[in-house]
Chain A
Amino acid sequence: DVKVTQSSRYLVKRTGEKVFLECVQDMDHENMFWYRQDPGLGLRLIYFSYDVKMKEKGDIPEGYSVSREKKERFSLILESASTNQTSMYLCASRPEFSGEVISGYTFGSGTRLTVV
């Protein structure tokens, strides 16, 4: 069963800590994404990557960075965690577009991060 795995389901960190959220996919997908989900705001795109070592800013990249050293792994980094980064973080992947049809995203189960 193919899937996207996020390393932690729940995480509690202190303000100012550096936080790493890990995501691994086993589908050999080229594209990977990090979203955060907050009540009333829906899913918002933070960063995405379309190839190893390539990254692009999404809609809300401030306060975050990413790393994609290997195709299967996409890490989200909070350089100095703040309370307004308390949220549900979702990782997703999908294959590269080829031809007419483009596949949907496959999402991980999410990491609920609380910054205190």
Chain B
Amino acid sequence: DAKTTQPPSMDCAEGRAANLPCNHSTISGNEYVYWYRQIHSQGPQYIIHGLKNNETNEMASLIITEDRKSSTLILPHATLRDTAVYYCIVRVVANAGKSTFGDGTTLTVKP
């Protein structure tokens, strides 16, 4: 699986959009981009995933660049409860379990 690079920390004002970047320059054609988040003392929670098209669900939007070497997770209106560590991973479809979670980005939403 391709390696990902994320900034270690970010701040965001409550009510504003939080844009979390992820670089995956060695991504291959059959690898999906996944985002998870982990709120303190809980297990990671799935947010969204995509292959090459932009995706949106009730939690967030995922923007993937045309060359697929980077992506951005967007929380459109961040709340204090969105404070968490956000993980970006890339994974081959049908890969049974070799996903590697790095250190992620610690997002702090401030009032």
Q: Is B111 at the interface (CB under 8 A from chain A)?
A: no
What 0/1 pattern do residues 78 to 97 of B give for CB contact below 8 A with A?
00000000010001011011
A105–B46 touching, CB < 8 Å = yes
What 0/1 pattern do residues 11 to 51 of B give for CB contact below 8 A with A?
00000000000000000000010101000011111110100
Q: Which residues of B contact A41 (CB under 8 A)?
A: 103
Q: How far is the CB of B2 from chain A (nearest CB, A)?
A: 15
Bound together, the chains give a CA A48 to CA B43 distance in angstroms of 17
Q: How far is the CB of A91 from chain B (nearest CB, A)?
A: 8
Q: Is B53 at the interface (CB under 8 A from chain A)?
A: no
Q: Which residues of B contact A97 (CB under 8 A)?
A: 93-94
Q: How far is the CB of B99 from chain A (nearest CB, A)?
A: 7
Bound together, the chains give a CA A35 to CA B104 distance in angstroms of 16
Bound together, the chains give a CA A33 to CA B99 distance in angstroms of 10
Task: Name A40's contact: one of B36, B91, B103 (CB within 8 Å).
Answer: B103
Q: Which residues of B contact A100 (CB under 8 A)?
A: 93
Q: How far is the CB of A25 from chain B (nearest CB, A)?
A: 12
Bound together, the chains give a CA A50 to CA B97 distance in angstroms of 9
Residue picked from A42, A45, A106, A108, most chain B C-beta under 10 Å? A42
Bound together, the chains give a CA A31 to CA B104 distance in angstroms of 24
B93–A102 touching, CB < 8 Å = yes
A109–B93 touching, CB < 8 Å = no
Interface residues of B (CB under 8 A from A): 32, 34, 36, 41-47, 49, 87, 91, 93-94, 96-104
Interface residues of A (CB under 8 A from B): 4, 31, 33, 35, 40-45, 48, 50, 56, 58-59, 90-92, 97, 100, 102-110
